[in-house]
Protein backbone atom coordinates (compact mmCIF):
# COMPACT_ATOMS: atom_id res chain seq x y z
CA UNK A 1 0.00 0.00 0.00
CA UNK A 2 1.34 3.47 -0.88
CA UNK A 3 1.79 6.02 1.84
CA UNK A 4 -1.42 7.89 2.72
CA UNK A 5 -1.22 11.61 1.96
CA UNK A 6 -2.35 13.63 4.99
CA UNK A 7 -2.73 17.39 5.41
CA UNK A 8 -2.31 18.94 8.84
CA UNK A 9 -3.75 22.41 9.25
CA UNK A 10 -1.97 24.41 11.95
CA UNK A 11 1.68 24.40 13.05
CA UNK A 12 1.25 24.92 16.76
CA UNK A 13 2.08 22.25 19.31
CA UNK A 14 -0.97 20.08 18.47
CA UNK A 15 -0.43 20.22 14.71
CA UNK A 16 3.29 19.49 14.81
CA UNK A 17 2.87 16.69 17.36
CA UNK A 18 0.20 15.18 15.11
CA UNK A 19 2.37 15.54 11.99
CA UNK A 20 5.42 14.04 13.67
CA UNK A 21 3.45 11.03 14.87
CA UNK A 22 1.89 10.53 11.42
CA UNK A 23 5.33 10.61 9.79
CA UNK A 24 6.60 8.07 12.27
CA UNK A 25 3.64 5.89 11.40
CA UNK A 26 4.44 5.89 7.70
CA UNK A 27 2.23 8.67 6.33
CA UNK A 28 3.31 11.41 3.92
CA UNK A 29 2.43 14.71 5.63
CA UNK A 30 2.28 18.38 4.71
CA UNK A 31 1.61 20.97 7.43
CA UNK A 32 -0.13 24.24 6.52
CA UNK A 33 0.32 27.31 8.71
CA UNK A 34 -1.23 30.73 8.09
CA UNK A 35 1.48 32.61 9.99
CA UNK A 36 5.03 33.18 8.83
CA UNK A 37 6.46 31.11 11.65
CA UNK A 38 5.71 28.09 13.80
CA UNK A 39 4.17 27.88 17.22
CA UNK A 40 0.58 29.14 17.11
CA UNK A 41 -0.06 30.52 20.58
CA UNK A 42 3.52 29.57 21.52
CA UNK A 43 4.56 32.74 19.72
CA UNK A 44 7.34 35.29 20.06
CA UNK A 45 6.90 38.82 18.72
CA UNK A 46 10.07 40.42 17.35
CA UNK A 47 9.75 44.15 16.93
CA UNK A 48 12.11 47.13 17.13
CA UNK A 49 14.94 44.84 18.15
CA UNK A 50 12.87 43.45 21.04
CA UNK A 51 11.43 39.98 21.64
CA UNK A 52 8.30 39.21 23.61
CA UNK A 53 6.67 35.85 24.38
CA UNK A 54 3.20 37.30 23.98
CA UNK A 55 1.32 33.98 23.93
CA UNK A 56 2.09 30.94 26.08
CA UNK A 57 4.57 31.96 28.77
CA UNK A 58 6.10 28.63 29.73
CA UNK A 59 5.45 24.89 29.64
CA UNK A 60 5.46 22.13 32.23
CA UNK A 61 5.81 18.40 31.62
CA UNK A 62 3.92 15.75 33.57
CA UNK A 63 3.16 12.85 31.25
CA UNK A 64 5.89 10.44 30.22
CA UNK A 65 5.67 11.15 26.45
CA UNK A 66 5.82 14.92 26.85
CA UNK A 67 8.60 14.66 29.43
CA UNK A 68 10.60 12.61 26.92
CA UNK A 69 10.05 15.24 24.26
CA UNK A 70 11.08 18.04 26.61
CA UNK A 71 14.25 16.13 27.52
CA UNK A 72 15.06 15.99 23.79
CA UNK A 73 14.46 19.74 23.52
CA UNK A 74 16.70 20.32 26.54
CA UNK A 75 19.54 18.31 25.01
CA UNK A 76 19.33 20.32 21.79
CA UNK A 77 19.38 23.58 23.77
CA UNK A 78 15.86 24.56 22.72
CA UNK A 79 14.27 24.16 26.17
CA UNK A 80 15.70 25.87 29.24
CA UNK A 81 14.37 26.00 32.81
CA UNK A 82 13.05 29.36 34.00
CA UNK A 83 13.00 30.01 37.74
CA UNK A 84 11.35 33.38 38.30
CA UNK A 85 10.27 34.85 41.59
CA UNK A 86 6.48 34.96 41.72
CA UNK A 87 4.03 37.25 43.46
CA UNK A 88 0.66 35.53 43.61
CA UNK A 89 -2.17 37.48 45.24
CA UNK A 90 -1.05 37.68 48.90
CA UNK A 91 1.99 35.41 48.80
CA UNK A 92 5.50 35.57 47.34
CA UNK A 93 7.27 32.52 45.97
CA UNK A 94 10.97 32.28 45.21
CA UNK A 95 10.34 29.80 42.37
CA UNK A 96 7.45 27.85 40.83
CA UNK A 97 6.35 24.59 42.47
CA UNK A 98 7.12 22.57 39.33
CA UNK A 99 9.74 23.17 36.67
CA UNK A 100 8.84 25.89 34.16
CA UNK A 101 10.50 25.64 30.78
CA UNK A 102 10.86 28.24 28.02
CA UNK A 103 12.33 28.24 24.54
CA UNK A 104 15.90 29.46 24.29
CA UNK A 105 15.28 32.45 22.00
CA UNK A 106 11.49 32.42 22.22
CA UNK A 107 8.70 30.00 23.05
CA UNK A 108 8.51 28.70 19.48
CA UNK A 109 12.06 27.35 19.91
CA UNK A 110 10.50 24.50 21.91
CA UNK A 111 9.00 23.21 18.65
CA UNK A 112 12.18 23.11 16.59
CA UNK A 113 13.18 19.49 17.37
CA UNK A 114 9.68 18.41 16.32
CA UNK A 115 9.53 20.47 13.14
CA UNK A 116 12.98 19.94 11.69
CA UNK A 117 12.04 16.90 9.55
CA UNK A 118 8.52 17.98 8.63
CA UNK A 119 7.31 19.71 5.47
CA UNK A 120 5.67 22.92 6.62
CA UNK A 121 4.12 25.53 4.34
CA UNK A 122 4.09 28.76 6.33
CA UNK A 123 2.22 31.84 5.23
CA UNK A 124 -0.48 29.58 3.75
CA UNK A 125 -3.96 30.02 5.18
CA UNK A 126 -6.43 27.20 4.52
CA UNK A 127 -9.89 28.77 4.49
CA UNK A 128 -11.91 25.84 3.14
CA UNK A 129 -11.64 22.09 2.77
CA UNK A 130 -13.83 20.05 0.41
CA UNK A 131 -14.29 16.35 -0.08
CA UNK A 132 -14.24 14.89 -3.56
CA UNK A 133 -14.44 11.32 -4.86
CA UNK A 134 -10.64 11.12 -4.70
CA UNK A 135 -10.11 12.69 -1.29
CA UNK A 136 -9.69 16.03 0.43
CA UNK A 137 -9.01 19.29 -1.40
CA UNK A 138 -7.67 22.41 0.28
CA UNK A 139 -8.54 25.98 -0.67
CA UNK A 140 -5.92 28.51 0.42
CA UNK A 141 -5.59 32.24 -0.05
CA UNK A 142 -3.40 31.44 -3.06
CA UNK A 143 -6.03 29.16 -4.61
CA UNK A 144 -6.67 25.43 -4.61
CA UNK A 145 -3.81 23.14 -3.69
CA UNK A 146 -2.96 20.75 -6.50
CA UNK A 147 -2.55 17.77 -4.20
CA UNK A 148 -5.46 15.62 -3.08
CA UNK A 149 -5.19 14.22 0.44
CA UNK A 150 -6.43 10.95 1.89
CA UNK A 151 -7.03 12.51 5.29
CA UNK A 152 -7.00 15.88 6.99
CA UNK A 153 -6.11 16.84 10.57
CA UNK A 154 -7.24 20.25 11.78
CA UNK A 155 -5.15 21.61 14.64
CA UNK A 156 -6.51 25.11 15.24
CA UNK A 157 -8.76 26.64 17.93
CA UNK A 158 -12.14 24.91 18.23
CA UNK A 159 -14.28 27.67 16.62
CA UNK A 160 -11.97 27.77 13.58
CA UNK A 161 -11.90 23.97 13.34
CA UNK A 162 -15.70 23.94 13.48
CA UNK A 163 -15.87 26.32 10.50
CA UNK A 164 -13.68 24.03 8.42
CA UNK A 165 -15.21 20.69 9.42
CA UNK A 166 -18.85 21.04 10.43
CA UNK A 167 -20.26 20.68 6.90
CA UNK A 168 -18.59 17.30 6.44
CA UNK A 169 -19.90 15.28 9.39
CA UNK A 170 -22.32 15.56 12.31
CA UNK A 171 -19.42 14.30 14.45
CA UNK A 172 -17.89 17.75 14.49
CA UNK A 173 -20.93 19.42 16.02
CA UNK A 174 -19.53 18.47 19.41
CA UNK A 175 -16.82 21.10 18.89
CA UNK A 176 -19.45 23.66 19.88
CA UNK A 177 -19.14 22.31 23.44
CA UNK A 178 -15.54 23.51 23.75
CA UNK A 179 -15.39 27.05 25.12
CA UNK A 180 -12.43 29.32 24.45
CA UNK A 181 -11.81 32.75 25.92
CA UNK A 182 -9.94 35.75 24.49
CA UNK A 183 -6.89 37.52 25.84
CA UNK A 184 -5.36 40.90 25.18
CA UNK A 185 -1.57 40.57 25.45
CA UNK A 186 0.42 43.75 26.01
CA UNK A 187 4.13 44.05 25.24
CA UNK A 188 5.93 46.87 27.00
CA UNK A 189 9.53 47.91 27.58
CA UNK A 190 10.61 50.38 30.22
CA UNK A 191 13.88 52.32 30.39
CA UNK A 192 13.96 51.66 34.13
CA UNK A 193 12.44 48.72 36.05
CA UNK A 194 8.84 49.00 37.25
CA UNK A 195 8.23 48.61 41.02
CA UNK A 196 7.11 45.01 40.62
CA UNK A 197 9.06 43.30 43.40
CA UNK A 198 8.93 39.95 41.54
CA UNK A 199 9.62 38.58 38.07
CA UNK A 200 6.07 37.28 37.66
CA UNK A 201 2.74 38.46 39.05
CA UNK A 202 -0.43 36.36 38.90
CA UNK A 203 -3.90 37.51 39.96
CA UNK A 204 -7.01 35.39 40.46
CA UNK A 205 -9.37 38.37 40.17
CA UNK A 206 -9.52 41.76 38.55
CA UNK A 207 -8.82 43.01 35.03
CA UNK A 208 -5.26 41.71 34.74
CA UNK A 209 -4.32 38.03 35.09
CA UNK A 210 -0.58 37.89 34.42
CA UNK A 211 2.51 40.07 34.22
CA UNK A 212 5.98 38.72 33.53
CA UNK A 213 9.39 40.22 32.94
CA UNK A 214 10.58 38.54 29.76
CA UNK A 215 14.08 39.83 30.49
CA UNK A 216 14.43 37.25 33.27
CA UNK A 217 14.02 34.34 30.88
CA UNK A 218 17.22 32.61 29.72
CA UNK A 219 18.54 34.00 26.45
CA UNK A 220 16.62 37.29 26.79
CA UNK A 221 19.17 39.37 28.70
CA UNK A 222 19.39 41.97 25.90
CA UNK A 223 15.67 42.59 26.38
CA UNK A 224 16.08 44.75 29.51
CA UNK A 225 12.88 45.66 31.35
CA UNK A 226 10.61 44.01 28.75
CA UNK A 227 7.28 42.88 30.18
CA UNK A 228 4.24 40.95 28.94
CA UNK A 229 0.83 41.63 30.48
CA UNK A 230 -2.25 39.45 29.94
CA UNK A 231 -5.74 40.74 30.44
CA UNK A 232 -8.15 38.52 32.37
CA UNK A 233 -10.69 36.68 30.20
CA UNK A 234 -13.61 38.85 31.33
CA UNK A 235 -11.68 42.08 30.78
CA UNK A 236 -10.43 40.90 27.39
CA UNK A 237 -13.95 39.94 26.35
CA UNK A 238 -15.30 43.33 27.41
CA UNK A 239 -12.59 45.09 25.36
CA UNK A 240 -12.48 42.55 22.52
CA UNK A 241 -13.07 45.07 19.73
CA UNK A 242 -10.95 47.84 21.22
CA UNK A 243 -8.17 49.46 19.24
CA UNK A 244 -4.86 47.72 20.00
CA UNK A 245 -3.13 50.83 21.27
CA UNK A 246 -6.09 51.71 23.46
CA UNK A 247 -6.12 48.18 24.90
CA UNK A 248 -2.38 48.48 25.58
CA UNK A 249 -2.78 51.81 27.34
CA UNK A 250 -5.69 50.59 29.47
CA UNK A 251 -3.98 47.36 30.55
CA UNK A 252 -0.76 49.19 31.38
CA UNK A 253 -2.79 51.44 33.67
CA UNK A 254 -4.33 48.35 35.30
CA UNK A 255 -0.82 46.98 35.86
CA UNK A 256 0.13 50.15 37.70
CA UNK A 257 -3.05 50.00 39.79
CA UNK A 258 -2.44 46.33 40.64
CA UNK A 259 1.12 47.11 41.79
CA UNK A 260 -0.15 50.05 43.83
CA UNK A 261 2.54 52.34 42.42
CA UNK A 262 3.12 54.26 39.18
CA UNK A 263 5.15 52.50 36.51
CA UNK A 264 7.71 54.33 34.33
CA UNK A 265 6.59 55.78 31.01
CA UNK A 266 6.92 53.02 28.38
CA UNK A 267 9.70 53.22 25.81
CA UNK A 268 7.78 50.72 23.69
CA UNK A 269 4.14 49.67 23.93
CA UNK A 270 2.11 47.34 21.73
CA UNK A 271 -0.76 44.86 22.07
CA UNK A 272 -1.96 41.69 20.39
CA UNK A 273 -5.47 40.29 20.59
CA UNK A 274 -5.75 36.53 20.93
CA UNK A 275 -9.39 35.94 20.04
CA UNK A 276 -9.13 32.26 21.02
CA UNK A 277 -6.43 32.32 23.67
CA UNK A 278 -7.39 30.03 26.52
CA UNK A 279 -9.56 27.00 27.11
CA UNK A 280 -12.48 27.86 29.35
CA UNK A 281 -14.16 24.46 28.96
CA UNK A 282 -12.40 21.51 27.27
CA UNK A 283 -14.25 18.66 25.57
CA UNK A 284 -12.48 16.17 27.84
CA UNK A 285 -11.79 13.98 24.81
CA UNK A 286 -8.36 13.09 23.38
CA UNK A 287 -9.40 14.32 19.92
CA UNK A 288 -12.39 14.37 17.57
CA UNK A 289 -12.32 11.96 14.62
CA UNK A 290 -14.72 10.95 11.87
CA UNK A 291 -13.47 7.67 10.46
CA UNK A 292 -15.84 7.64 7.47
CA UNK A 293 -14.31 10.81 6.04
CA UNK A 294 -10.82 10.41 7.54
CA UNK A 295 -10.93 13.85 9.10
CA UNK A 296 -10.31 14.99 12.64
CA UNK A 297 -9.52 17.85 14.96
CA UNK A 298 -7.15 18.24 17.90
CA UNK A 299 -5.90 20.86 20.30
CA UNK A 300 -5.57 21.80 23.95
CA UNK A 301 -9.32 22.49 23.88
CA UNK A 302 -9.86 18.72 23.63
CA UNK A 303 -8.01 17.74 26.80
CA UNK A 304 -6.82 20.57 29.05
CA UNK A 305 -5.65 24.20 28.84
CA UNK A 306 -1.96 23.36 28.79
CA UNK A 307 0.67 23.05 26.06
CA UNK A 308 1.04 19.43 27.12
CA UNK A 309 -2.68 18.94 26.43
CA UNK A 310 -2.15 20.13 22.85
CA UNK A 311 0.77 17.71 22.46
CA UNK A 312 -1.22 14.74 23.72
CA UNK A 313 -4.27 15.63 21.61
CA UNK A 314 -2.18 15.89 18.44
CA UNK A 315 -0.63 12.49 19.07
CA UNK A 316 -4.06 10.99 19.77
CA UNK A 317 -5.47 12.23 16.47
CA UNK A 318 -2.45 10.92 14.61
CA UNK A 319 -2.93 7.47 16.06
CA UNK A 320 -6.63 7.52 15.23
CA UNK A 321 -5.80 8.33 11.60
CA UNK A 322 -3.04 5.71 11.53
CA UNK A 323 -5.57 3.06 12.59
CA UNK A 324 -7.85 4.00 9.66
CA UNK A 325 -5.07 3.25 7.17
CA UNK A 326 -3.85 0.24 9.16
CA UNK A 327 -0.35 1.64 9.48
CA UNK A 328 2.00 0.40 12.17
CA UNK A 329 1.66 2.48 15.32
CA UNK A 330 4.73 4.63 16.08
CA UNK A 331 6.91 3.21 18.80
CA UNK A 332 8.65 6.36 20.01
CA UNK A 333 7.62 8.43 23.03
CA UNK A 334 5.38 5.78 24.53
What secondary structure letter does DSSP report for 173? G
**CA dist., res. 294 & res. 271, Å (int):** 39
Domains parsed from the chain with CATH numbers? 1-44+108-177+282-334 (3.50.50.60), 180-280 (3.90.660.10)
For the entire predicted model, the pTM comes to 0.93
Is the predicted pLDDT of residue 332 greater than 50, yes or no?
no
Pairing of strands 50-52, 45-47: antiparallel
Q: Indicate the helix (H) or strand (E) that contains 327.
A: none
> What confidence tens digit (pLDDT) does each residue in 103-127 have?
998 999 999 999 989 999 999 999 9
The string of DSSP letters for 284-323 reads -SS-EEETTTTEEE-SHHHH-SSHHHHHHHHHHHHHHHHH
Q: Residue 329's pLDDT band (boundaries 50, 70, 90)?
A: low
Give 334's pLDDT tier (boundaries 50, 70, 90): very low
CA distance 295 to 154: 8
Q: What is residue 94's predicted lDDT score, i.e. its pLDDT?
A: 77
pLDDT of residue 6: 97
Helix 64-75 with 307-324: angle, nearest 10 deg: 110
User: CA 265, 266, 268 angle in degrees (round to 5)?
Assistant: 160
For the chain, how big is the Rg over CA atoms in Å?
Answer: 20
Residue 243 to residues 211, 283, 293, Cα–Cα distance (Å): 21, 32, 41
* 200-202/86-88 β-pairing: parallel
pLDDT digits (tens, 9 = 90+) for 113-162: 999 899 999 999 999 999 999 999 999 998 898 899 999 999 999 999 99
Q: Cα–Cα distance between 268 and 273 in angstroms, integer?
A: 17
3-state SS assignment for residue 7:
strand
Report the alpha-carbon distance of residue 29 to residue 23 in Å, rounded: 7
Q: Please count the residues of the chain.
A: 334
pLDDT value of position 241: 96
pLDDT at residue 333 greater than cutoff 60: no
Phi-psi region of 286 (alpha: psi -120 to 50; beta: other; left: phi over 0): alpha
Amino acid sequence: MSKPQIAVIGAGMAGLACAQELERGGADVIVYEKSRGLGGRMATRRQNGLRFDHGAQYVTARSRPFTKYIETAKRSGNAIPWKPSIAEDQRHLDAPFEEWLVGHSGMSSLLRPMAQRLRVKTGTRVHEITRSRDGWLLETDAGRERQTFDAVAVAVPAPQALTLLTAHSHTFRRLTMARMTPCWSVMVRFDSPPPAGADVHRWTGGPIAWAACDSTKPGRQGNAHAWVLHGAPSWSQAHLEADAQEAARLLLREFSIALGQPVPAPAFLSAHRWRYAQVGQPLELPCVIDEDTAAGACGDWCIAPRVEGAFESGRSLARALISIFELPAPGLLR
